[in-house]
Structure 1
Amino acid sequence: MNKILLSAAVCCALALSVKAQTREINFKHDAPFKEVLAEAKKQNKLIFFDAYTSWCGPCKVMANTVFKTDSVADFFNQTFVNLKVDMEKGEGPKLKDRFDVAAYPTLLFIDGDGNLVHKIVGSAPVNEFMAESRKALHPENTVYGLEKKFNAGDHSEATSLAYMTALETAYEHTKMGEVAKVYFDALPQNTLLDSKNWELESRFLFDVSSKAFAYLYGKSDDLKAKYGAGKVDMYFNQVFGNTIGSLKKAYASNINLPAAKNRATAMEALLASSNSPSDQQQLTALHLAQFAGTNQWDQYCALINNTLKKAPAGQKPNSYSILWAGMEMVRSAPVKYSTTALKWADYYNEDKEDLFTQILASDLRKMASKKLGKTKEAEAFALNSENLRKQAAAQGKMTPPIMNN
């Protein structure tokens, strides 16, 4: 009886809680941006801009929960001019480029002159969202206010850490790395291994061209002894992976390419003398990115072929790095190179018990066959990949991502 009464009480409480939430943020949906700017300027308010897409799950969560919380609705309706824009429709694509929206949801705070005042990326619970949103009313504490202070020469610990934290929240990782480089490069090197600085470095310092990063890499054995090999290796691999990723992005967009090339050169210099298999794999991936970015596909193929040739007997190179590189080549290179990619798939065909590798090889065969005009073969490999993924799922094994082709 007590359990029934308690259950009924809980249900009533939930019902009352749901019923109590009757208000929501009043958005202007896809309204002309110029008109919203004019209204914000007239009312002397900031615009709260919800940049979303129809397929974004976290966007829907924010819309159906946080934005429908009474306290949030009351604050935003009173304080801001609220605008909601689908980034894939109407003015969305142009506004996406204007405000450098790269992930969803991106929540922007913009003044009546069109200047970005504050930026939040990703979903958040009510309390966290409200605390972060209130910063927009105090520009000196926002990413853009802190940027002005930092660029004016205030590189103090308080300003630098606040700025890097704000950039992290805004998903501005490239700029965060640039700020971290300035801050940590100015610290005495004998303090860089201290626990306080190490925690901050492993969180913020992702610019491989930083003097501080080079020092840390040279002291990797000391770091591992103090903080554990797993965490230290993960940090360095993440930095190197980000360097390669930013280089690919820079080649594709032709934006910030000189800076990306500079970081790539620094990475080459650090890894050139390393005998670590992990480091050599990263170096190979970097060179492949350079060859792909400059359309040097003969050199791209030669590097992979040489990597396979030099592998010790019974120790094949990591299948993901080779086969994924093959798919990237098939997607971007002239059709004749797809025949070479099929040979790389054959090289790994013996690994019958490794489902992950089998799926990658099948995916590569599918893409290469499709590009070569072999439609029936491509369809057969697509079905094979699907069946292998189902088999892996049934066994609880991880499967590789699907390359868009």
Structure 2
Amino acid sequence: MLTGLLRKRALLLFIACSLGAVAMAQNRKVDLKENLPFDEVLTMAKEKNKYIFLDFGSITCKPCLYIKKEVLTLDSVADFINERFVSVDYNVGKEKERLSKLYQVKGEPVLLILDQNGVLMHRMAGKMEGNQIMARFKQGLDIKNNFVSLTNTYTAGNRKPEFIMQYLEALYAAAETETMNKVTLEYLQGPVERIKDPGIWSVFYKYNQDLASREVMYMFENKEEFYKLFGKDKVDAKINKLFSEKSIFYLYGHKPPIEDPKYTIILNALRKTDHPKASEWLCYLVPAQYKYKDWHKLGQEIDNIYSFNILKGKAGTSFKDMMLTQYSMYCDENTALKYPIRWANDLIATAATEAEKKKYEGIKANFMKREKEPNKEKLDWSKSD
């Protein structure tokens, strides 16, 4: 009886130790240094005869944190990267700003593979899982198929369909949307009706993200026909994604939307459609035409949106909150600050917590102080990024 009990205890101890060992084995991670001077990184790479892996993100970016905590801590990923790379996370500071400009990093997260001399080899962007990041890192080390090599091949004139598909996927993984749109539209040349073909549709659906392109506008204007061909859910998913993203981009961007020819195409398309979400998107697009041009008129349009009760509940509160930010950051017409002051009063009255109330009271106080000051010289927003 005693012998059996001892054996049972020994077995339990063995299992506990085994589980502990497994847990330890699953606790390896990429040796990711932070915000080092880049000269040091180059020196380390040459001394260790390794490539360079740069991770551009921030401590508030959820996809960035996911990659660091859930992906770069996988044994297979950590072992692969640590063996081959000097790895640095740039999340804040002047060196991050300098390198972002040097390597044209926009958005986050963006992951770059460089050679020992700091020459770009491969670019990746967005949230990734373990299998995805492994495949992309391996592609990055393939000198015939990494991002830079594919770009050079395309520039040299290769337009073979199988190569274009490979290049488009690399652009998609790198979030190089502008270039991806250009390559896609070149591939889709010919009668616009071609996108009804299932093979052409699959390329258009994934890679064409240019809302103002003739293909997207054709699909939007003939959505009922495309519902029948490819399914309402799928077609609406693309329509909703493109219009939602672009509407927000125009209202919260850093350049006057009215100066972009595509803005007018999109605005006119929404004004004549019967799409059920058109009114919501117009709440962003109609005021956007006055941003940086006429802050009084923009404020009037925002007031109109609320007078017609188009944005309701949380959506309306969130929109008003974001407009306070826009006026706080960009408005250079102090006589137009009466609008955000009024919106701040609304948010103070409906604040769910005391902290929220104090936040909006502080914003209102700042607007009221600025309202009494002379207008600053108008900023040249055309030079903004």
State the partner residue of 1:268. 267
Residue type at the aligned position of 2:272 = S
State the partner residue of 1:400. none
State the partner residue of 1:323. 320
The TM-score with structure 2 as length reference comes to 0.73
Deviations 1:71-127 (A, max 9, x none): 4444334433x1313331352222233234445543210123433211223454443
Secondary structure in 1 matching 2:175: coil
Task: Provide the aligned C-alpha RMSD in A.
Answer: 4.3
Residue type at the aligned position of 2:101 = D
Higher relative contact order (CA 8 A, sep 6+): 2
C-alpha contact (below 8 Å) 1:53/1:88 kept by paired residues:
yes
State the partner residue of 2:246. 243
- Measured in 2, the distance between the counterparts of 1:346 and 1:26 equals 49
State the partner residue of 1:117. 121
Deviations 1:41-99 (A, max 9, x none): 6776531223344555665665566545554444334433x131333135222223323
C-alpha contact (below 8 Å) 2:348/2:360 kept by paired residues:
no
State the partner residue of 1:108. 112
Q: Quote the sequence identity (%).
A: 24
Deviations 1:290-342 (A, max 9, x none): 311x2311221333345556x4xxxx212336635643454233444343346
Shift of 1:207: 0.6
Change (3 A) 1:189 1:327: same
Report how many residues are paired: 356
Deviations 1:129-167 (A, max 9, x none): 222111111133223322223333334432333223222
C-alpha contact (below 8 Å) 1:342/1:365 kept by paired residues:
no
Secondary structure in 2 matching 1:139: coil
State the partner residue of 2:145. 141
- Give 1:6-405 correspondences, 5 Å limit: 11-20=16-25, 25-26=30-31, 29-38=34-43, 40=45, 45-54=50-59, 62-63=67-68, 66-67=71-72, 71-80=76-85, 82-89=86-93, 91-122=95-126, 124-184=128-188, 186=189, 188-247=191-250, 251-252=254-255, 261-276=260-275, 278-292=277-291, 294-307=292-305, 311=308, 316-319=309-312, 320=315, 323-324=320-321, 326-331=323-328, 332-333=330-331, 334-341=333-340, 366=361, 369-373=364-368
- Measured in 2, the distance between the counterparts of 1:278 and 1:49 equals 40
- Measured in 2, the distance between the counterparts of 1:345 and 1:229 equals 40
- Measured in 2, the distance between the counterparts of 1:196 and 1:300 equals 44
Deviations 1:344-389 (A, max 9, x none): 6889999x9xx99x99x97996476333449xxxxxxxxxxxxxxx
Residue type at the aligned position of 2:114 = I
Residue type at the aligned position of 2:310 = P
Deviates more, 1:50-59 or 1:228-237: 50-59
- Measured in 1, the distance between the counterparts of 2:362 and 2:204 equals 40
Structure 1: stretches of 5+ with no match in the other structure: 375-405
Change (3 A) 1:183 1:5: farther
Change (3 A) 1:303 1:103: closer
Residue type at the aligned position of 1:145 = S
The TM-score with structure 1 as length reference comes to 0.70
C-alpha contact (below 8 Å) 1:26/1:77 kept by paired residues:
yes
Residue type at the aligned position of 2:212 = S
State the partner residue of 2:373. none
